[in-house]
Amino acid sequence: MVCTMAFLRALISTARMLRHSPPLSAGLPADDAVLLDAPDERLSPALVAAALGDHEPAAKLLATTRDAADWENRDRYLGRLTTFARHRDGWLTDWLAAAPRDPDALLVKAELAVRRAWESPARAERLHEVGPLITAAAEADPRDPVPWRLALDHARGSHATHTAFESLWEQAVRRSAHHYGCHVAALRYLSAAWYGSHRECFDFAERAAEDALPDSLVQALPVRAAFALLLDTQALGRTTSVLEERIDAAADTAIRLSAAYRPGDPWPAEVRNLLAYVLLARGRWAEALDQFTLIGQHATSFPWSSVSDDALGRFLDARDGARLQVASATPLRDRAGRGRPRGHYA
């Protein structure tokens, strides 16, 4: 009887998936329409020009963010330009030759040097060598918090003490109290993988989220803490009940934040991708599918590259998994309609 019931449940689940999967796909773009880390309309021309060896559009883009004190986009654009420069940096070399004291060129140079140092087997030594480049970028525009985000990342890799890190943190928040990148850098320093613990990570993230401005991405810090915990504990298959409650609370906060942005908006795309991952890990399939719908075509490398060498493939598999789980849990017919005549083939 037990085997028969299990077999029956499997048949019903399969029938539900076959019936409900197509309608649940209606709000999702096709697999080949999903793009990984797609640039927005401001960044795209700068990347195209850089590929052709022209640094001017990138220089203009970063200068615009600096003039407007648009520190969040400045940090985001810096990251994408630096990623491109890791493989093709001729345009950056030309830019530095033409304007060796340009604050924006110095910032890209410093970020690129930090990333390359992080990839070196002699990381701490290499990071020590690039410290003056971060200082030069910070001094080029004392208002800019982004070099201080670099300094925080640099401090983590060079084994800075808590006291030294706190000093850098003070300088960063003095320039921008709610800068997302600086908060992420601090969260990483406090993580169990580095110099803190999961509880310290959650404590910092939750306090920062409570103090954040309305609709600020800083409200997503707790879900980043949740992701770090899940990565560490998934091999064990369990977490403590206290931390499980904090994971779910973090997801709830991020769901509210996601709802503040329009569907398909590239700005919160990384947060939505991260949230979808956490919701899947918690078995909250329908809510995860909602986030995939809001994500649209904007898949992001993080968090999927943390768990797979094929970030886009992992994203698509996760999206399909959420859709199939929701379909298998959806009744074959509306329970409210039971008992009504439906004809011979109903």
- What pLDDT is stored for residue 340 in this prediction? 37
Compute the C-alpha angle 181/201/238, nearest 5°: 125
Beta bridge partners of 35: 298
The residues spanned by each domain of the chain are 40-190, 220-329
CA–CA gap between residue 250 and residue 182 (Å, rounded): 19
Q: Check residue 22 and give its pLDDT.
A: 53
Q: Show contacts of 5-14: CB within 8 Å, 24+ apart.
A: 12/332, 13/328, 14/328
Q: Is 127 in a helix, a strand, or coil?
A: helix
What fold, for 40-190? Answer: 1.25.40
Dihedral of the alpha carbons of 105, 107, 109, 111, in degrees to the nearest 10: -150
pLDDT tens sequence for the chain (346 residues)? 545 545 434 433 444 444 444 555 567 999 999 999 999 999 999 999 999 999 999 999 999 999 999 999 999 999 999 999 999 999 999 999 999 999 999 999 999 999 999 999 999 899 999 999 999 999 999 999 999 999 999 999 999 999 999 999 999 999 999 999 999 999 999 999 999 999 999 999 999 999 999 999 999 999 999 999 999 887 555 555 668 899 999 999 999 999 999 999 999 999 999 999 999 999 999 999 999 999 999 999 999 999 999 999 999 999 999 999 998 877 655 544 444 333 332 2
In sign, the C-alpha dihedral spanning 95, 267, 117, 89 is: negative
Task: Report DSSP state, residue 170.
Answer: H
Name the residue with tokens 């768990």. 307
Three-state secondary-structure class, residue 122: coil
Q: Measure Cα distances from 72 to 78, 149, 253, 262, 265 in Å.
A: 10, 11, 20, 18, 15
Residue-wise pLDDT tens digits, 166-176: 999 999 999 99
8 Å CB contact between 203 and 96: no
Res 233: pLDDT: 81
Contact 91, 109 (CB under 8 A): no
Encode pLDDT of 7-36 as tens digits: 434 433 444 444 444 555 567 999 999 999
pLDDT of residue 27: 76
Q: Which of 71, 104, 64, 66 shows the shortest CA–CA distance to 85? A: 104
Residue 80 burial by CB count (10 A; 0-12/13-18/19+): exposed, middle or buried? middle
Angle made by CA atoms 255, 261, 265, in degrees to the nearest 5: 115
Instruction: Specify the residue for token string 């052709």.
Output: 52
User: What residues have CB less than 8 Å from 272, skipping those under 6 apart?
Assistant: 258, 291, 294, 295, 298
- 18 φ, ψ (degrees, to nearest 5): -65, -35
Three-state SS string across 192-252, please? CCCCCCHHHHHHHHHHHHHHCCCCCHHHHHHHHHHHHHHHHHCCCCCCCHHHHHHHHHHHH
